[in-house]
Structure 1
């Protein structure tokens, strides 16, 4: 399969604990840089796709996040700075950030994968555009599958991974098929 791009959530997926952590204090999981590099070596575009409503509260700037993602080697970053109550089309589970990435980078969303830890946001946004869905069990992953499964009951992940590294290895296997 020809996978053109992988969308990756930030908090709970590449590091942190699922909660907001300012970029200057954010810690990656030990395997995250290597996982991102594996995708880049296969010429797969990597985009971060993250809700960061604390920007709207003035607790961080969108520039802080762009700088963080550039240093990590992402090809681009799609960041929703709005509060969940703002009604925007970019706040996951709305697919606005994915649609923007598709337009900006000429990516066929049905040839993409979304890796994230929250079923009710990440998996639903991916489902809305026909992307493959990989739920990681880091961050909110376990609770997404257990106590919050009802919020996304009609959507199933294509794969459930222990962490980002296992998710990336699964993506690379799909490329070989």
Structure 2
């Protein structure tokens, strides 16, 4: 068993919002989300935002708008894909490019990290691609992802834990204390 190094947290539908784009100036975290981030940081766990935001490309917000928002929430860093889903980049979840970049920049063993998100077909698949712990929250698109769209991702990346919200996910990770070693 090894201690958790970092947690990657999706934005829309996980930290707050509806699961759809909301400009950072209008974004409101769910009750308990900021507490969840503080709990993780208080235990020496790095927290990173991990988000697809193709509306940056459309000019609806800037990358700086998102970075400022994540900094205000206490994230150590933010990994933001500004590309359209069909642009062919390596960073748009479910591709693991943002996770791999974070690993290189922060010296992380991704098997000692977790991804928390509300969409199985992006968040859980990205986590599975790098061997990270997978936690699905039922906020945002979580319930439909687990029920209606399960066939698109579940067999490839079943969550290690399903939480009601980000706070429960953080509490579960903390209660685990250490990440199981992966074969």
TM-score (norm 2): 0.95
Query: Is the CA contact (8 Å cut-off) linking 2:113 and 2:133 kept in structure 1?
Result: yes
- After superposition, where does 1:151-170 map in structure 2 within 5 Å? 151-154=152-155, 155-170=157-172
Match of 1:15 in 2: 16
The aligned length equals 177
The CA distance in 1 between the partners of 2:159 and 2:165, in whole Å, is 14
Cα deviation code 1:41-79 (max 9, x no counterpart)? 000000000000000101100000000000110000000
Unaligned ranges ≥5, structure 2: none
Q: Secondary structure at the match of 2:60?
A: coil
Match of 2:83 in 1: 82
Cα deviation code 1:97-137 (max 9, x no counterpart)? 00000000000000000000000000000000000000000
* 1:30 positional shift: 1.4
* 1:153 positional shift: 2.8
The CA distance in 2 between the partners of 1:22 and 1:98, in whole Å, is 24
Unaligned ranges ≥5, structure 1: none
- After superposition, where does 1:138-157 map in structure 2 within 5 Å? 138-154=139-155, 155-157=157-159
- After superposition, where does 1:47-86 map in structure 2 within 5 Å? 47-86=48-87
Match of 1:127 in 2: 128
The CA distance in 1 between the partners of 2:13 and 2:128, in whole Å, is 20
Match of 2:36 in 1: 35
Q: Which moved more, 1:152-161 or 1:132-141?
A: 152-161
- 4+ residue runs over 3 A deviation: none
Structure 1 or 2: larger helix share? 1
